[in-house]
Amino acid sequence: MQSNTSKESELKNSTFNKGLSSVVTAVLLIAVSIFIVTLVSAWISGLTLEESKTLSNRTTGFTSCSGSGIFIEDVYLDTAINTSRVNVRNTGRSTEIITSAQILSKTGVNGSLTTTLPLSMASGELRILVFNTSGAIPNCANFSQVRVATECTSDFYRDAPRNC
């Protein structure tokens, strides 16, 4: 018959002691660490590249609009024939393209623009926009403002129009 101590030593040396050696464990830990570092590095690199492209697009937009400027010189309102003419000058250094224009009454009603947009303006050029004010601005007291916008800038006219 075997003693209890010899049975215990056999059990310790059998299935219960079968695990990874410390060298294999160290190699696995290093491999997992390298894998995680590679994943994080690729993620950060992709994020940085995307932000760099976004910043580049924004910078291009700012520099292409840096010399932009328009000015509404005058608004002429003729309530007898329900027409308004708006004189807009390109005060910038580059060609502007008018993309929208509105004439508004004090109640917020728009007159309809009869000039076709988009409308290109060279630097220093004056353009006249024509509006039909029928039903929108029946008299000078109802005039509120004119808004004109290009791809890069805009202007407002809130003074009293001429012919009022």
Judge whether residue 76 has pLDDT over 80: yes
Q: Are 65 and 110 in contact (CB under 8 A)?
A: no
pLDDT at 154: 95
Is 3's pLDDT higher than 70?
Answer: no
Task: Give the model's pLDDT for residue 164.
Answer: 83
Span 53-66, mean pLDDT?
Answer: 64
| Token pair belonging to 140 | 């000078």
> What is the share, in percent, of the chain residues with pLDDT greater than 90?
59
Q: What is the DSSP string of the chain?
A: ---HHHHHHHHHHTGGG----HHHHHHHHHHHHHHHHHHHHHHHHHHHHHHHHHHHHHHHHHHHTTT--EEEEEEEEETTTTEEEEEEEE-SSS-EEEEEEEEEETT-PBPEE-S-SSEEE-TT-EEEEEEE-TTT-SSGGGEEEEEEEESS-EEEE-SPPBT-
How confident is the model over 29-51, as a mean pLDDT?
A: 86
Return the half-sphere exposure (C-beta side, CA atoms, 13 A cut-off) of residue 14: 6
Q: Alpha-carbon torsion 55, 57, 62, 63, what sign?
A: positive
* pLDDT score recorded for residue 31: 92
pLDDT tens, position by position, 83-120: 999 999 999 999 999 999 999 999 989 999 999 999 99
φ/ψ (deg, to 5) at 150: -115, -175
Average pLDDT over residues 57-61: 58
Higher per-residue pLDDT: 146 or 64: 146
Of the chain, the percentage scoring pLDDT greater than 70 comes to 80
Taking 70 as the threshold, does the pLDDT of residue 1 lie above it? no
The two tokens of residue 26 are: 């160290």
pTM of the predicted structure, to 2 decimals: 0.62
pLDDT given for residue 118 in this prediction: 95
Q: Does the CA dihedral 115-120-122-124 come out positive or negative?
A: positive
- Per-residue confidence at 2, pLDDT binned at 50, 70, 90? low
- Say if strands 112-113 and 126-132 run parallel, antiparallel, or are unpaired: antiparallel
